[in-house]
Structure 1
Amino acid sequence: MKIAGIEKNSFVDYPRHLSCVVFTQGCNMNCFYCHNKPLIGNGEIRNISCKEVLDFLLKRQKFIDAVVISGGEPTMQTDLEDFIKDVKKMSFKVKLDTNGTNPKVIENLISKELIDYVAMDIKAPFNRYEEFCGVKTDINCIKESIGILMEGNVDYEFRTTLAIGLGLADILDICKEIKGAKSYILQRCRAFDGGVSNPISITDVIKVIGKMVRNVDTRGIEISA
């Protein structure tokens, strides 16, 4: 496992749980709005050993109850399963953050009951993926991952970061692909100069898509009445 960093305590990354977030190194996308750019490639960045992380978690058992594995893209890690097994031995719940490009990995982890929650990013409407991800993406893999989550028995959420260029019609197109989903989260995207990147009206979005998915929520976004 290539581990680039950890966030020792998080109240927001795993719903209803106090968690530690483990950030893996490497990603197969290059989203222009990504705030974890140093984690995309394999350049010079601190490499934390699995043992160091596991030793830390062992000491934190009384204070946290979950571990979030994020990135980068965790499903690229060849020893992800072994790492999660070690985490589960300490009785932590495990949440996986993923872009959905490796459905077989997701399916395998679910079938072995190694993950308790999955947050899958849906970057854009399928016909605009390359524009937002910066790379060619196998949309069939994205669709397969969506199906695995919606038809399976693991808790999950889909989420979209409201990057500049995404409009109401785009969000509507995304929701058509996940119609009936348990949870859909709209996340704030801030420009690197500190300004808000996307002027889209969240209130209008929720009014339109509220009947398409079972629950719509926001993260880092204030909703006006």
Structure 2
Amino acid sequence: MQELRVGGLTPLTTIDLPGRLAAVVFCQGCPWRCGYCHNPHLLPPAERNGPAWEEVRVFLERRRGLLDGVVFSGGEPTAQRALAAAVVQVKALGFQIGLHTAGIYPQRLEPVLADLDWIGLDAKGPIERYTAITGVRGAGGRFRRSLELVIGSGVDHEVRTTIYEGATPEELLGLGHWLAEHGVRRYVWQMRRPGGSPAGDGAWRAVRDGLARRFERFEIRGAT
């Protein structure tokens, strides 16, 4: 059986699986090339920057009763066919399972949905901008299908957008309306590292206020 390639491990987090103590397994590899990626060392699929999967599994066995859950992040977890088996193994240890994904491989996302307890789905930008943002044709269609699967699954989730260079208030307002119309109820803006917030002029304030009215919860993270 193919082993999950691990790019890193965070033993404890209080923010990556809402309301729960969790470990984060960073999966190696991602086919998209977003210019603002904050884990570029995880992009090459063949590299192994972290421990072997068996080491991770043994570590998690020892953390039973101390952690509530495990989050698979990346990179892009669904880029690896071994994800499904890894999720099953961790679920069998009694952990809740979280997944961070950009929805790149909806055909691999669908089979693991039943074992997930929470999903953080990245919306890179308006569908028509996906090719420019990710460098991959057809990326927007993949995200759209994954969004449909996540919402239809009933699994607890949030959708989040990293505020990318060149984004305009009008563009993000349009994206927010599109997400709300497609059933998203919790939406998050994430600020690019090293930090900062959207321009504080009237146009940005109007967008923030407008989106706050469209969602059950709208949040801005990383603003300074």
TM-score by length of 1: 0.89
DSSP 3-state at the match of 2:216: coil
Deviation at 1:204, TM superposition (A): 3.4
Q: Name the aligned partner's letter for residue 199 of structure 2.
A: P
Tell me if the contact between 2:119 and 2:157 (Cα under 8 Å) persists in the aligned partners.
Answer: yes
1:14 aligns with 2:21: no
Alignment of 1:81-160 (within 5 A): 81-110=84-113, 113-160=114-161
Tell me if the contact between 2:29 and 2:46 (Cα under 8 Å) persists in the aligned partners.
Answer: no
Bigger proportion of residues as helix: 2
Deviations along 1:78-128, one digit per CA (max 9) or x if unpaired, are: 111110111001110101111112112222112xx2111111101011111
Q: Name the aligned partner's letter for residue 196 of structure 1.
A: G
Which residue pairs with 1:31 in the alignment? Answer: 34
Distance (whole Å) between structure 2 residues aligned to residue 44 and residue 211 of structure 1: 44
Q: Name the aligned partner's letter for residue 88 of structure 1.
A: K
Distance (whole Å) between structure 1 residues aligned to residue 96 and residue 79 of structure 2: 21
Larger deviation, residues 203-212 vs 22-31 = 203-212
Deviations along 1:110-157, one digit per CA (max 9) or x if unpaired, are: 2xx211111110101111112222322332221111111222211111
Deviation at 1:198, TM superposition (A): 4.8
Deviation at 1:8, TM superposition (A): 0.8
DSSP 3-state at the match of 2:54: helix
DSSP 3-state at the match of 1:6: strand
* Overall identity of the aligned pairs, in %: 31
Q: Calculate the aligned-residue CA RMSD, in Å.
A: 1.9
Gaps of at least 5 residues in structure 1 are: none
Tell me if the contact between 2:177 and 2:211 (Cα under 8 Å) persists in the aligned partners.
Answer: no
Deviation at 1:44, TM superposition (A): 4.6
1:196 aligns with 2:176: no
Which residue pairs with 2:209 in the alignment? Answer: 207
Q: Are residues 135 and 174 of structure 1, via their aligned partners in 2, closer, same or farther at CA, if it must alter by over 3 Å?
A: same
Question: How many residues are treated as equivalent by the alignment?
Answer: 217
Tell me if the contact between 1:167 and 1:200 (Cα under 8 Å) persists in the aligned partners.
Answer: no
Tell me if the contact between 2:118 and 2:157 (Cα under 8 Å) persists in the aligned partners.
Answer: yes
Q: Name the aligned partner's letter for residue 140 of structure 2.
A: I
